[in-house]
Chains A and B, each alone.
Chain A
């Protein structure tokens, strides 16, 4: 397929966005790995990014850039073109992580070799990865084969299956139509006129809304809010935010009516 596989839609939105939301449920901070030329691409532009420092050498450029950007963090690295990946697959990987190893990864269901793009890369991998790249070796799978890697069997056999043809994409999209969208829990705090119209100063909501725009539309079904979104601003976790910023599990959202201080 001559297309950007991260932009294919299996779950009602570009896969890179969906994968970002999925990872946000498990990670303290989530980033999308981009080549310099992908920084302004629409689906990636609004997301926190880690930009390749050595573009042109494939996925290992993203892994090494991440390990350099936050050297003390362990990175849960997941390819953004895996349509069948699930929360359970990630939970199992995290639960069985061995931080004493270079990495924790799944064995491929097809050839038994490590899957570098659904794996936890430890801070200790940073120098060896850089040395590997400097030595002209750019295959992250070979790196894991030759390193001290904890290997797990997949709890869901097909979770990391790839899509490579138009026919496979159509079949995968049809199969995934049956699955529900990712639900997340967010807290909404209300002030002033919205507090009075909602009849409460806050509430916690399980929602599949991807953005504040979708969340406000959903809330207008529940409460008699008269103000339109064009009259409001949005804050996420006590900072001003864009309406299109992806909502994460655990976010606190405030819709800000027209202000009148002073």
Chain B
């Protein structure tokens, strides 16, 4: 599988996991990001992810390559969902196989932290009261509405 990609369709972690198999690996660690039903005091009903894919694909590949180089793991990959998601859906998957567990956890943590911080991906939340908003963009953008 590609080190980093987007998916319009629901994520399928079992199939990704099989792609990380390696006879030299003593273990595998994964992180799954799920859509939860609340954020900063608001009840969330669903959300949408949007990405600047041309840049995010390149930067995502760089992040995975950095993790492999930095922690010496065998294989690593990340898949991020785009489109409309419901509560409980999988938003992002990160998987790492390695000789020993410590570097698998560390590389997994590194990838999800950098993905959240660096990739041009945006999340629009829809709330129970019918409102919606782009996370991290709205409050600073519309101070007069609050």
A interface vs B, CB < 8 Å? Answer: 189, 191-193, 195, 226-227, 231, 233, 235, 238-240, 254, 256-262
Contacts and interface: CB of A to CB of B under 8 A. Distances in A.
Contacts of A260: 116, 121-123, 134-137
8 contacts: A189-B52, A191-B120, A191-B122, A193-B138, A226-B142, A227-B141, A235-B52, A258-B140
A257 B50 CA distance: 12
Given A256-B52, A262-B33, A262-B112, A193 B141 contact: yes
Interface residues of B, number: 32
A145 to B, nearest CB: 48
A254 B123 CA distance: 17
Nearest to A254: B52
Given A256-B52, A256-B120, A261-B116, A239 B58 contact: yes
Contacts, number: 82
Contacts of A235: 52, 55, 120
A192 B116 contact: no
A238 B121 contact: no
B136 to A, nearest CB: 4
B125 to A, nearest CB: 9
Given A238-B54, A240-B55, A258-B140, 19 more contacts: A191-B51, A191-B120, A192-B124, A192-B134, A193-B138, A195-B50, A226-B142, A227-B140, A231-B137, A235-B52, A238-B55, A238-B58, A254-B120, A257-B122, A257-B134, A259-B122, A260-B134, A260-B135, A262-B91
Given A193-B134, A259-B121, A254 B112 contact: no
Given A226-B141, A257-B137, A239 B55 contact: yes
Contacts of B52: 189, 191, 235, 254, 256
Nearest to B121: A261
Nearest to B81: A261
Contacts of A239: 55, 58
A130 B33 CA distance: 60
